[in-house]
Structure 1
Amino acid sequence: MYAGAVAVPLIVGGAMISAGQMAPDDLAHLVVADLFVAGIATILQSVGFWRFGVRLPLMQGCTFAAVGPMITIGTNHGITAIYGSVIACGLFMMLLAPVFSTLLRFFPPLVTGTVILLIGLSLMSVAAGWVGGGTGTPDFGAPSNLLLALFTLVAILLLERLAPPAVARVSILLGIAAGTAVAALTGKVDVSGVAAQDWVGISTPFAFGAPTFEVGSVIAMCVVGLVIMTETTGDILAIGEIVERPVTRRAVADGMRADGLSTVLGGVFNTFPYTAFAQNVGLVSMSGVRSRYVATFAGGVLIVLGLLPKLGAVVAAVPVAVLGGAGVALFGMVAASGIRTLASCRLDSRALLMIATAIGVGLLPTVNPEIYAQTPSWFQTIFDSGISSGAITAIVLHQVLCTTRHTPQENAAAAAEAAGVVGLRR
């Protein structure tokens, strides 16, 4: 999950640098802050205290569902508005956790699968910018950048096909390492920022200033919060089944409440919303290691990594084109997991129309970023993100078109079948 975890601060940080909201040197800070809070969130979820934490072997990391809205918020209102909306989202999740089970009917697999598919499709524009070497850079689209991205992607595919299972599980991380090594041989790796970083450091709360709370931004991030809670519910159900521990409604609420608290900590420590990573769901199933204390130990490792700023600088030095090659596979996996979730649903004509419309609305700002340029700023904040607009469309159309054609029993059966893939991201 390391590659997925650090990808979110790299994406959002890169967008904020391009928008003039951050200095390039701040990117390393985002990476180590992300790892530090991810470790705390993992320990909180696996060990638990009082009514926080589901006490199952779950790894926590930044969710890709928030990437689009956060970039929009940061571009329009500044980076402090991102952290204000993240804190508000976390509080919203904690308050809603006890009653969220009554809202689950609005997020059946048909809606969740559509949203996950949109996450992957929307992020492909980010991957395309990376493949070219960084949108707006002088050498964007240079053959050397394209070849570097292609080499990274091929390395990932070869590792998946030829490497032993234990190695194939980290194929994306090893592919990034291989691409970076080739880039270093061609002089495309700049490690000058590594020396300037301390060996040991602690993330400073509100390093970019006091958070600001913009209404449209808060609403957009709360929509993301609903998606996060849905994803986490799927992961909790899947892990509970694997470790043969029945998951109660209270346990689900405790897990979502822990997500909310972790997200609040993310806003305080200059990082982003947190959720359970489905990569770990598959790993628990394949390895048979079911102890939650293994996840607890891994959370401790993440905290240690988050206290080493030089490591953050090393990760930030990875060439953008290398990330592009990995991004094609990574974001494509997200989209494919959404398709797998939809494949478990009963897809009649109304369901197909709902999916098609939600995807169409969600992709409008991706294929034409200026489409909402003449609308009010609050509208842009919500609908400039294809994920937010697509999710809202899917929820509304499902209630209008599909509730009478998909009974609660059918939706429950589909949810049980798709639980292992609902939370896959990044």
Structure 2
Amino acid sequence: MSPSAPSSVQHAAGPVPLKAPAAPASSVPPAALGLLGLQHVLVMYAGAVAVPLIVGRALKLPPEQVAMLVSADLFACGLASLIQSWGLPGIGIRMPVMMGVTFAAVTPMLAMGADPAIGLTGIYGAVIASGLFALLVAPLVGRLLPLFPPVVTGTIILVIGISLMRVGVNWAAGGLGNPDYGAPLYLALAALVLCIILAITRYGRGFVASASVLIGIVVGMAVAAGFGLVDLGRVAAAPWFDLVRPFAFGWPSFDPVAVLTLCIVMIVVMIESTGMFLALSEITGEPVDEARLTRGLRADGLGTVVGGVFNTFPYTSFSQNIGLVGVTGVRSRWVTVVGGLIMLGLGLIPKLAALVEAVPQCVLGGAGLVMFGMVGATGARILGAVDFARNRNNLFIVAVSVGFGMIPLVAPTFFKQMPHALHPLLESGILLAAISAVVLNLFFNGLGSASEARAAAAAQARTAEAH
């Protein structure tokens, strides 16, 4: 499972309600395409809306603006998915892929947003610039794969999960700044959501199990409403339809360090996307050559540019949707095209975004412990395939890189005396871990071959989507 798409554990066993044989789009009835597209949307929905909620609330935006971020995210998810699945000239892998905001960018964006000199417009400038960077370097990413063997990517993903867990824990207690932070009712509701998700994961099958996080949030919100914790006033006041306007927070600004930071994040994102595309190639039986891979990575870049223009964040392929392709057997890209159209439509319904924003933080906390924890668990699982017995140097790579990644988490003022312009970079444990892991891997293990790296990336992605 990718950092961009933490979700519940996928169950390959058991009946799937919308199971269909592998078939070209022409043989899939339109009604089935709609249901299968909706299934893709429901599987990714909880992960898709998590990032705008994290960023909006961390930056203390008004509820109306947080809801606007959610609408923008759903809208841009739809556009990015259409670009990837339907395709444009020279852009888009044209395979069943759903796109969503990557979690890898959350921590560095929060550091940028906390800097008054950068702020939200600086974040969007960095997002747009990093998307353009991804468009330019997409043909070169295959050559960078040897820099990111499993010991590096596993370490990075592990640190992403651990870093995000702080958000989930604070949500479960009611959210930072809440005067009733840690109230027993908040903790009980978070525990209830967590238990529901675990129970559905254990006893559910197929689609129900894969949507356990979304189901847990819905049930938790219903219970929270019974305790008077859900304010639906803003939902009632929100219009049924509205356009998503570009640059709603003002024209973007471009801070060099912020841009560099997100460019590094995009390299990591594209490396992970490469593995996902190779795994999807094996699932669908469609070959992915260098040209097709480049088109897919360009869609990551263009989707990210679209995100910056429409007030949202960097995009990547969601791994649980790739896993769903294998579970359902439906390999037609038109299913995810329909899913993209559904997401596009959802982004134009402000009432829905207001409803998402109204979910109490303690309810999100129970789900966040699962979502963010699954990111870390995915990193641990990737590291499980690394040879530590015969190559003890790998232990040092992981140990030191995780240590670097924890610096901003356990000692927020560690780099206080460093130049202010470097803070967005130094305050991101993910980037510190990534740089450390790459450098130490080169020092201890040298540079592997591109073919070995492609095989390792595909195996890593298969492990992620199968779970």
TM-score calculated relative to the size of structure 1: 0.96
Question: Contact 2:87–2:93 (CA<8 Å) still a contact in 1?
Answer: yes
Question: In the alignment, residue 297 of structure 2 is paired with which amino acid?
Answer: M
Secondary structure, counterpart of 2:252 in structure 1: coil
For 2:233 and 2:318, how far apart are their aligned partners in 1?
A: 33
2:438 aligned residue:
395
Does 1:381 pair with 2:420?
no
Distance 1:409 1:33, change over 3 A: closer
Displacement after TM superposition at 1:345 (Å): 2.3
**Residues 41-86 of structure 1, C-alpha deviation per residue, up to 9 Å, x if partnerless?**
1111011121100011000000000000111111112110000000
* Distance in structure 2 (CA, Å) of the matches to 1:209 and 1:424: 42
| Deviation of the 1:168 alpha carbon | 1.0
Judge which range, 392-401 or 318-327, deviates more.
392-401
Q: Which residue of 1 aligns with 2:219?
A: 178
Q: Compute the displacement of 1:413 (Å).
A: 4.2
Structure 1 segment 141-156 matched on structure 2, within 5 A: 141-156=182-197
Residue matched to 2:48: 5
Q: In the alignment, what sits opposite 1:416?
A: 458
Structure 1 stretch displaced more, 192-201 or 1-10: 192-201
Structure 1 residue matching 2:316: 3-state secondary structure: strand
> Aligned partners of 2:435, 2:341: CA distance in 1, in Å?
37
**What is residue 91 of structure 2 aligned with on the other side?**
52
| Distance in 1 of aligned mates of 2:414 and 2:291 | 43
Structure 1 runs of 4+ with >4 Å offset: 406-413, 421-425
Name the CA distance, whole Å, in 1 between partners of 2:374 and 2:195.
Answer: 15
In 1, Cα distance between equivalents of 2:450 and 2:350: 49
CA distance in 2, matches of 1:135, 1:368: 18
Shift in alpha-carbon separation, 1:45–1:412, aligned structure 2, 3 A? closer
- Matched residue SS, 1:51: coil
Residues of 2 paired with 1:65 and 1:193: CA distance? 31
Distance 1:409 1:58, change over 3 A: closer
Q: 2:400·2:436 contact (CA, 8 Å) conserved in 1? A: yes
Check conservation: 1:111, 1:394, Cα contact below 8 A. yes
Q: Which sections of structure 1, spanning at least 5 residues, go unmatched?
A: none
Provide the secondary structure at the position in 2 that maps to 1:25. helix
Percent of aligned positions with the same letter in both sequences? Answer: 49
Shift of 1:161: 1.3
Q: Work out which of the residue numbers 274, 278, 289 in structure 1 matches 2:330.
A: 289
CA distance in 2, matches of 1:396, 1:422: 25
Instruction: Determine helix, strand or coil for the equivalent of 1:61.
Output: strand
Deviation at 1:344, TM superposition (A): 2.0
- Which TM-score applies when normalising by structure 2? 0.87
Take 2:197 and 2:371, find their aligned partners in 1: how far apart are those partners?
10
Q: 2: distance between equivalents of 1:322 and 1:139?
A: 15
Please provide the CA RMSD for this pair.
1.6
- In 1, Cα distance between equivalents of 2:449 and 2:296: 27
Q: CA deviation at 1:91?
A: 0.4
Q: Aligned AA for 1:182?
A: V
- Distance in 1 of aligned mates of 2:277 and 2:119: 34
- Do the aligned partners of residues 260 and 403 (structure 1) sit closer, same or farther apart at CA in structure 2, a change above 3 Å counting? same
| Aligned counterpart, 2:102 | 63
Shift of 1:98: 1.3
Kept after mapping to 2: 8 A contact 1:278/1:424: no
Could you tell me whether the CA contact under 8 Å between 2:142 and 2:450 is conserved in 1? no
Q: Which of 78, 87, 95 is residue 39 of structure 1 equivalent to? A: 78
